[in-house]
């Protein structure tokens, strides 16, 4: 763990068809975007080690490994959890699981603020939507409000995680002004209409959003031991099958093996 005053994080999300990866040392951030899906399982570990080397940050110097725990692609979530477990076990780090829909909400808010569409101190509710395939969408609503005297605001859940047909999507109250995610192209008019004065924007759960969320989640004590890096599924099944557990175990071993090999060479 870092002994300096600056926070150090590794963050990644593999829940969609995009692999998003970033490391942070204080205010400095190094990021990378790669193909996700099936390629994430083979590309994530080398990309993590390369980015840490670029930032001159040994894995052992991190405060925690931050990852998108779901909902999302089953294969992608297993990859993220297994890699987080393997890397964290190797150097005795905690992990910080983050809901992917919360990351979507944060990414959308950040993008709208920087585009000038929303003022930085605007009280905002975001309905986050991700394509769940099988003619369904994952959804959750989050309410954001500024914290006086702080540079960051506070997120609170406004409606729980759910999955279902777009037409059956339950809308939060009338504070909602922003719908965000990757479900608009696939489902179009089947999604609820945006209220007057509202907005829609494309957004994914990026590693940069995970990094912005990490300090508050860390302060809330939500970091957990490596073995508790578990996927969040919200479809009918709520537990890993035997095959899934074996797949996660194999990926975690792969991550630890890659870390052992990398430890023989200094990060420069």
The answer to whether 51 and 21 have CB atoms below 8 angstroms apart is: yes
Single residue among 189, 204, 219 that ends a domain in this structure: 204
239 inside domain: yes
| 181 lies in the same domain as 249 | no
* 168 and 251 co-located in one domain: no
Task: Report whether the peptide linkage leading into residue 37 is cis, meaning its omega lies within 30 degrees of zero.
Answer: no
- Look at the chain and report how many structural domains it folds into: 2
Mean pLDDT of the chain: 87
Per-residue pLDDT, 259: 60
Put simply, whether the predicted model's pTM sits higher than 0.75 gets the answer yes
Whole-number pLDDT of residue 72:
95
* pLDDT tens column, 127-177: 999 999 999 999 999 999 998 877 678 999 999 999 999 999 877 765 668
Look up the CATH number of the domain holding residue 62. 3.30.420.40
Q: What's residue 172's pLDDT? A: 74
* Residue ranges of the chain with per-residue pLDDT less than 70: 1-5, 151, 173-176, 196, 236-268
In a domain, 22, yes or no: yes
Domain of residue 114, residue span: 101-204
Residue 268 included in any domain: no
Which pLDDT score is estimated for 248?
A: 58
């Amino acid at each position: 763990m870092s002994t300096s005053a600056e926070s150090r994080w590794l963050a990644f999300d593999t829940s969609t068809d995009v692999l998003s990866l970033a490391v942070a040392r204080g205010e400095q951030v190094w990021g990378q975007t790669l193909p996700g899906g099936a390629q994430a399982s083979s590309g994530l570990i080398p990309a993590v080690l390369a980015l840490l080397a670029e930032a001159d940050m040994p894995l052992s110097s991190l405060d925690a490994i931050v990852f998108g725990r779901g909902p999302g692609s089953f294969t992608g979530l297993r990859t993220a959890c297994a890699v987080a477990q393997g890397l964290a076990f190797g150097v005795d780090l905690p992990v910080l699981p983050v809901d992917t829909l919360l990351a979507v909400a944060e990414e959308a808010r950040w993008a709208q603020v920087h585009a000038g569409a929303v003022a930085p101190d605007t009280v905002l509710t975001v309905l986050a939507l991700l394509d769940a395939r099988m003619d369904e969408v994952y959804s959750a609503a989050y309410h954001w409000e500024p914290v006086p005297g702080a540079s960051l605001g506070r997120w609170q859940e406004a409606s729980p995680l759910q999955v279902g047909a777009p037409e059956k999507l339950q809308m939060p109250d009338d504070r909602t002004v922003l719908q965000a995610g990757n479900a608009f192209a696939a489902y179009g008019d089947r999604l609820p209409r945006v209220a007057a004065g509202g907005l829609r924007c494309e957004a994914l759960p990026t590693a940069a959003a995970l990094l912005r969320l990490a300090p508050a989640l860390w302060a809330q004590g939500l970091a957990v031991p490596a073995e508790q890096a578990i996927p969040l599924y919200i479809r009918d099944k709520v537990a890993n099958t035997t095959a899934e557990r074996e797949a996660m175990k194999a990926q975690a071993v792969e991550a630890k093996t890659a870390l052992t090999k990398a430890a023989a060479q200094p990060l420069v």
